């Protein structure tokens, strides 16, 4: 399942995931020092749900993102196929 | 000019073989003025935050040094 280059959707989903992940990092750092900021906590929940949705969408179309059982593997063992992370 | 940048003129001795720049610049980013981040600050959109490197506009610092000719005539 390696055609060159990957379809547009592949890059779009990764870019969305990257942005959502960055917001989650920032909110995590903020919540570390502001644990009772319920508004920020609510935002964190929202972005967490968005990330789960995007991850599921990506993995259904392009295979697992995480290893060691953290991602659905499906019928074929494909994580070793290209593009590797540095080839994306 | 970006107000986060400040300037000063170092002393230039006539005997100094390696004379310092006429005007030196340093940055005082917004986080220096905010000991503890108040709750409820406005935020960038996710893509904007990723591009700018922070989720909080009030803490954003462009950090592009002033160009040479401007501060070293």
Is residue A28 a part of any domain in this protein?
A: yes
3-class DSSP assignment, residue A48: helix
Residue with tokens 């259904």: A60
Chain B residue closest in CA terms to A15: B47
Work out the minimum CA distance from A80 to partner chain B, whole angstroms: 29
Is residue A78 a part of any domain in this protein?
A: no
Is residue A47 a part of any domain in this protein?
A: yes
The answer to whether the predicted template modeling score (pTM) of the entire model surpasses 0.90 is no
Gyration radius of chain A over CA positions: 16
The size of chain B, in residues, is: 73
Chain A residue closest in CA terms to B41: A40
Is residue A69 a part of any domain in this protein?
A: no
A23: nearest CB among B37, B39, B55: B55
- Could you state, in chain order, the average pLDDT of each consecutive group of 10 residues for chain B (73 residues)? 84 94 91 93 96 96 75 54
The 10s digit of each residue's pLDDT in A2-56 is: 557 899 999 999 999 999 999 999 999 999 999 999 999 999 999 999 999 999 9
Q: Cβ distance A50 to A20 under 8 Å?
A: yes
Position A65 scores a pLDDT of: 92
3-class DSSP assignment, residue A3: coil
Is residue A49 a part of any domain in this protein?
A: yes
Q: Virtual CA dihedral for B64, B50, B28, B2, nearest 10 degrees?
A: 40
Is residue A74 a part of any domain in this protein?
A: no
Q: Looking at the predicted complex, does its ipTM rise above 0.85?
A: no
Is residue A11 a part of any domain in this protein?
A: no
Position A64 scores a pLDDT of: 92
Tell me the helices (H) and strands (E) count for chain A, helix number first.
2, 0
Q: What total of structural domains would you count in chain A?
A: 1
Mean pLDDT of A55-78: 92
Disruptive mutation site among A11, A12, A17, A19 for chain B (greatest number of B CBs within 10 Å): A19
Question: What residue numbers bound the domain in which A30 lies?
Answer: 20-60
Position A74 scores a pLDDT of: 86
| Burial degree of A62 (CB within 10 A; 0-12, 13-18, 19+) | middle
Cα gap A66→A43, rounded to integer Å: 24
């Amino acid at each position: 399942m390696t055609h060159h280059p990957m379809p547009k959707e592949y890059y779009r989903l990764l870019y969305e995931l990257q942005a959502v992940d960055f917001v989650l990092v920032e909110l995590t750092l903020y919540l570390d020092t502001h644990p009772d900021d319920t508004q920020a906590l609510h935002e964190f929940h929202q972005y967490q749900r968005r990330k789960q949705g995007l991850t599921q969408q990506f993995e259904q179309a392009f295979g697992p993102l995480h290893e060691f059982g953290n991602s659905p593997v499906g019928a074929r063992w494909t994580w070793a196929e290209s593009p590797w992370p540095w080839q994306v | 000019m970006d107000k986060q940048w400040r300037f000063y003129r170092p002393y230039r001795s006539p005997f100094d073989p390696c004379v310092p720049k006429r005007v030196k610049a340093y940055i005082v980013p917004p986080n220096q003025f905010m000991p503890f981040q108040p709750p409820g600050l406005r935020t960038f959109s996710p893509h904007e935050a990723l591009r700018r490197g922070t989720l909080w506009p009030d803490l954003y610092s462009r950090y592009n040094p002033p160009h040479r000719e401007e501060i070293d005539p």
